[in-house]
Amino acid sequence: MSTALRQTIEAHAQKFAVALIDALRSASLDELASVTGGLAAAAPSRAPRGAKTTEAAPKATKKAGRLGRRSPDDIAQTLESIVALVAKHADGLRAEQIKAALNLDKREMPKPIAEGLKSGVLKKSGNKRATVYTAGKKKK
């Protein structure tokens, strides 16, 4: 296509677009609605968003991965708190109850409980989730 023809087409398209915009601006909404078949024929718009709050709701953060290495003193201290808690309850407690009462991570539980069972300061009865831990003999 020659450049002269291209320029002529672009000039006519520009004039048409300007004339169309002028006609739309000068028309009333009623005229536009009657030409387009009503306002309902318009494309659906997005639903309005709710107002944003200034405070974000706290999100539950779940720690992933492994725990850091704990010293034997840390494990012994956790075991002491578990034994003290279990001793207050004659019927004993399940691991979930101990975890909730002491605010422990589920990954912190196995080592101190295993140490307590091995040393005899904790006793267990039941299997799996029905396991109940009770206080054993006092450590000397």
Query: Tokens 């968003």 map to which residue?
Result: 49
Per DSSP, 135 falls in state E
98 touches 122 (CB < 8 A) = no
Q: How far is CA 137 from CA 49, 85, 91, 113, 121, in A?
A: 63, 15, 16, 15, 5
**pLDDT tens by residue, 75-117:** 999 999 999 999 999 999 999 999 999 999 989 999 999 999 9
Q: Is 79 exposed, middle or buried (0-12, 13-18, 19+ CB in 10 A)?
A: buried
Domain contains 35:
yes
**49 within domain boundaries:** no
Residue 129 DSSP label: G
> pTM of the full predicted structure?
0.54
pLDDT tens digits for 9-66? 999 999 999 998 888 888 887 777 777 776 555 566 676 776 666 666 666 666 677 8
Domain, as residue range, for 102: 72-135
Task: Reply yes or no on whether the pLDDT at 121 is more than 90.
Answer: yes
CATH number of the domain bearing residue 76: 1.10.10.10
Residue 80 and residue 124 in one domain: yes
| Within-domain flag for 92 | yes
